[in-house]
Amino acid sequence: MAEEAIKLGVKKSLFIDKVKELLPDGGNLNLCLTCGACSAGCPATGISGMDPRKFLRMAALGMDEELLKSDWCWFCTMCQRCIYVCPMQINIPQLVFYARQSRPREERPKGILGSCDMALRSDTCSAMGASEEDFQFVVEDVLEEYQEGQPEFADMQAPINKKGAKYFLNQNSREPVTEPDEMVPLWKILHSVGADWTYGTKGWAAENYCMFMADDESWKHIVEVKAKAVDDLGCKYWLNTE
């Protein structure tokens, strides 16, 4: 009686196809030498016992469950150093982004989730919840303080909603709320070089937590609100400080 062939089960993987899609033309995961170049320059290496090389190999081996339980993907800064040094140019940050998307929205980090949802509440896009009126008041108040306290900058301006300005400037939303003095050094630079710039009461917040949360629709909405604010004022360039 002939023995029945043993069939090896193949572990279904959500990540393996994504890994293959992210390889350059003609690329092959088997060519990865696990050289560690990606991990050597990664600021998140070692956090939660993970690094880019390990993350990629686990994805290639179909260890989806283990990767989805790991919080390491939220420590990745998306700086793309790993792509730059990788001999195969594998887009590991895109793979990390996919891992973030695979986690249910309500289970993503509360800080990022809350900041994204706060930014969606108004056209300021502020993750701190600052209103248009609040932002304008703080800018005008701080400007007046420095004009009076530093005579060499008595003519310095921090325009808001200036039509036709060449540059539309974004500001991290934490600064006008908790660290307003941190806005001033950039004003001084723009003043010293004679730049034609403006803030907008709409779309002034620079950061986009919805991008970090891997919420594509919310990310898109935030960008569209900011882009519309730039267009509505007729500015030529959009300066984002983040």
Residue 126 sits in the same domain as residue 231: yes
Under 8 Å between Cβ of 172 and 183? no
Domain annotation covers residue 79: yes
pLDDT tens across 44-68, in order? 999 999 999 999 888 888 888 888 8
The residue among 42, 73, 103 that closes a domain is: 103
Please state the three-class secondary structure of the chain as a single string.
CCCCCCCCCCCCCCHHHHHHHCCCCCCCHHHCCCCCHHHHCCCCCCHHHCCHHHHHHHHHCCCHHHHHHCCHHHCCCCCCHHHHHCCCCCCHHHHHHHHHHHCCHHHCCHHHHHHHHHHCCCCCCCCCCCCHHHHHHHHHHHHHHHHHHCHHHCCCCCCECCCCCCEEECECCHHHHHCHHHHHHHHHHHHHCCCCEEECCCCCECCCHHHHCCCHHHHHHHHHHHHHHHHHHCCCEEECCC
Number of domains in the chain: 2
| Confidence at residue 13, expressed as pLDDT on a 0 to 100 scale | 66
| Confidence at residue 62, expressed as pLDDT on a 0 to 100 scale | 82
pLDDT tens across 152-191, in order? 999 999 999 999 999 999 999 999 999 999 999 999 999 9
Domain annotation covers residue 8: no
What is the residue range of 88's domain? 15-103
The per-residue pLDDT of the chain, averaged, comes to 89
pLDDT tens across 119-153, in order? 999 999 999 999 999 999 999 999 999 999 999 99
Under 8 Å between Cβ of 29 and 38? no
The residue among 87, 103, 119 that closes a domain is: 103
Domain annotation covers residue 10: no
The residue among 71, 103, 135 that closes a domain is: 103
Domain annotation covers residue 34: yes
| Confidence at residue 27, expressed as pLDDT on a 0 to 100 scale | 57
Residue 117 sits in the same domain as residue 222: yes
pLDDT value at 9 more than 60: no
pLDDT higher for 34 or 201?
A: 201
